[in-house]
Every structure is written in structure tokens, then in C-alpha cells.
Amino acid sequence: MQLRLNAIKGLTVNPFIGIIIIGVALMLSVAACSSDDEDSEPAQTTQSQTSPAPPAAPSDKPPIEVVTTSNIVADWVENVGGDGVEVFSLLPIGGDPHTFQPGARDVARITDADVVLSIGLGMEGGWLHDLLENAAADPESIVETGEIVDPIEFAEGHADEVELLEEISHVVHEVEDGEIDAMKGLKEIEELLEAAEEGHHHEGEEEEKKDEDHEGEEEEDEGHHHEDEEEHHHEGEEELPAMVMEIIEQVETGDLKAEDAIEAIEGLTEEGEHDHADHGHGLEDPHYWFDPVRVKLVVNDIAARLSVLDPDRGDMFWANATAYNAKLDELHSWTEQQVSAVPEENRLLVTSHDSFGYFANLYGFEVIGVVLSITTDVEPSAGDLADLVEEVKEEGVPVVFGETTVSERLASAVAKESGAELVRLYSGSLGPDGSGAETYIGMIRTNVERIVEGLK
């Protein structure tokens, strides 16, 4: 305004005209200021209207990079994290988590990840350990979700076998360290095998006597007897002791040196321990996702970890977790209602491998037999399959449940020989588009519908 007045002041004009010019200049200046005020005022109003009431994350903040070993866990992370996460599942849809082999790109994904969520409890076996080692991953970023859920134990037979393997390995190491000679080591191993065999016979006699004493009283007692019989379906329990005894007998006949026998037994025990690691068959069962109540614990843990990594989105993560947990509660209630249509005496499961323990415990079923026990890539013996077929016949089980991530060849054979129907369930992986099992909740609902339809 001052510049305009100075410019006008330098002119030689009629005073009246000068006054008019000054007046016009003043009006133009006021109009310009008024226009500036009007332009800025709507902008402030728009900003106020578009800002959400709850705290919002900065739009330029990159999402948290999460890598999971299971596409089931990836589904939980996506539900909790929303737009605040970028999730990659190492396991493809339909993949078997026991036999999966990661590629070179997966090493880079692990390296770049902010957090890596695994199942743990031995579920992924050696492949995850090697992958993490190659990626030089920060141990603080690795989370074993199975440790969060208070895992249940496998059937007693698994624990017995693990203990026997450990005891034999201990003797082998004593020989290698020079604490005892090879012959003494073989003698101790033979005594361990005999003690284990006597223990199985003793347990079987006790259960048989119990069934005789309580015959016709409670079906619960019959269930205990089936648990004992189920132990004989585990390939490792029958074959490992037999193979070790065969090696010892070769030493006794002079066909094998004691030192060579110890080396051979060491190879067998290492293979057995590897098989257990591949499938998590220690004392704790890793298949906890078949229990939606336990899944809620993992969902809350995911929300907590994401909130630490991105506090600005913390409220959103927890709100999403709360909403998803409500859906899990609904899923649990729905499942209880559905399985109520199955008579208690019909709640007997025969599955491809030992993965439905949590489901059985939570909803009142009993797993009376499994086709594959130690790991999904090791086939059972012909004797194991024959025993399982006989039990399916004796119990009158109408359905053998196969799994989408496991070859159905053996399960199909058991079903055919026993006269049962083969029905496939989703276990270690979500299903493809159009399957109804594309999400965790969809997977559980699909399984429940098939189990109920098959057994009711």
C-alpha cells in the first residue's frame, strides 16, 4: 500500500482526481486483503473437517515389514496390522510347513524384516534354523508364537520315544568320549531297549485290566485303551528299536565290529532326532491354531509388538486386535454349537497326521489314530497301516480325514481297506481362492462343517 501511495504522490494531477485515484487504490488493497482472508479461512475449515478424531498415523510412515513362516499367522497379522503392515508368508498356499524348502529370495526377506513370526516348537524344523542363520537375522526380531499359548503335550508315546532317543544318544557319546568301551555301550543300549519294551507291555496290561474291570461302565475308560493302542501306530517306536537290536545282534554273531555298530546306531538316533525336529514331536504340540481361544493370545501379542515398532499406529493395532478377537470368540461359540450335533460316542478322529490334538481337547473329540506320525515325509510301515485299518474297522469310524497339504495316497488306502469315507481337511495351510478356507476363520469353519457332516 505504501508503494502505491508513493507512486501516486509523484504524479502532477488535479487534486480531485488524485483523491479519486487514492480512494480506488485503497479499495483495491482492502479487497485484496479480504480475498486473502477468505482463501485461508476455508482451508482451515477443510483441515478441521478431514482430521479424524482418533490419533492417525503419519501418511508418510512406511508400513512394518513382517515375515511369517505360516500363511495362517500372516492372516492374523493382516487383520491386526491393516495398512500399517506389509506381510509376507514364506509358506505358499497349500504348502506343507514340515517339508517346505525356502529359496534364496527368502534370505533377503528375512534380513529386511522388522519382525519374523514363526510357529516354533519344532514345527518348521531345520529349514527355519538354516534360513535364519544364512540371513544373519537379529535374534530379537524372531518370535516363536507357539511359546505364547501354553502348548499342550503330544500323546505319551511321543514323549517316550524322544526320551529313548536321548538315552541312546547319551550312551553313544560316552563311547565316543572314551568313558566306556564300545561293548559296554552296546550292552547299556540293549538294556535301555529291553526296559522300554517292558514299559510298553506293562502299560498295555494295566489298560487291558482296567477295561476288563470297568467294562460297560464308562466310555472314558475305552478311550484310555485306544490311546495305548495308538502308540503302536508310530513308525519310529517300532522300527528304531528293531533296527538298533538288529545291529547289536550282528555284533553278537561276529558280523560287525562293536565300534562300527556304535557308529551305525549314532546315525539312526540322529535321523530319529531329525525326524522329530521336522515335525515338532518333542513334548509340545505346535498345531495350536486349531484352538481359537489360544489364537487370541497370539493376536494380542502381535498387536503389542506392532505397537512397539510403530507407536503412532498403536491405537489402530489394538482396536483391530479387539475386533478380531471378538470374531474368534464368535468362531469358538459357533464351533461348540456345531459339534454338539455329533454324539459323544462318534467323536473319534482318524487323521493324516497328528495335528488335531488341540481341536480334540477343546471340543471333546479323541484322536484314535494317525496315518503319518513322525513327520509328513516319512511313510509308516505296512504293519502300522494294517493296525490302523483294523482299529478303524473295530471302532466303526465312518470317515478318515486326509489333509490338503499331505498326499492322500496312504489315507485313501486306509479308508478304502476299512470301508470308511475319505474327507480332506485344511491343516498346515490356508486354502486357495474359492475354497472357503482362504482365511483362518474360513479354514476352521470349513473343517468343522466337514467333521460334523462326516461323524454325525
CATH superfamily, region 64-152+286-324: Nitrogenase molybdenum iron protein domain (3.40.50.1980)
CA gyration radius, the chain: 34
Cα(380)–Cα(391) distance, rounded to whole angstroms?
16
Please tell me whether the overall predicted TM-score, pTM, comes out greater than 0.75 for this model: no
Say which residues have a Cβ less than 8 Å from residue 345's Cβ, sequence separation at least 6.
219
Say which residues have a Cβ less than 8 Å from residue 237's Cβ, sequence separation at least 6.
157, 160, 161, 231
> Which residue is listed with cell 531329525?
274
The confidence score (pLDDT) of residue 139 equals 84
Sites in the chain below the pLDDT cut of 50? 1-57, 59, 156-157, 201-204, 207-208, 210-211, 214-238, 277-281, 374
CATH superfamily, region 340-455: Nitrogenase molybdenum iron protein domain (3.40.50.1980)
64-152+286-324 and 340-455 in the same fold: yes
The confidence score (pLDDT) of residue 377 equals 52
> Could you write out the DSSP letters of every residue in 203-247?
HHHHHHHHHHHTTTT-HHHHHHHHHHHHGGG-HHHHHHHHHHHHH
Residue ranges covered by each domain of the chain: 2-50, 64-152+286-324, 156-279, 340-455
> Could you write out the DSSP letters of every residue in 332-352?
HHHHHHHHTTS-GGG-EEEEE
The confidence score (pLDDT) of residue 107 equals 92
Cα(214)–Cα(225) distance, rounded to whole angstroms?
12
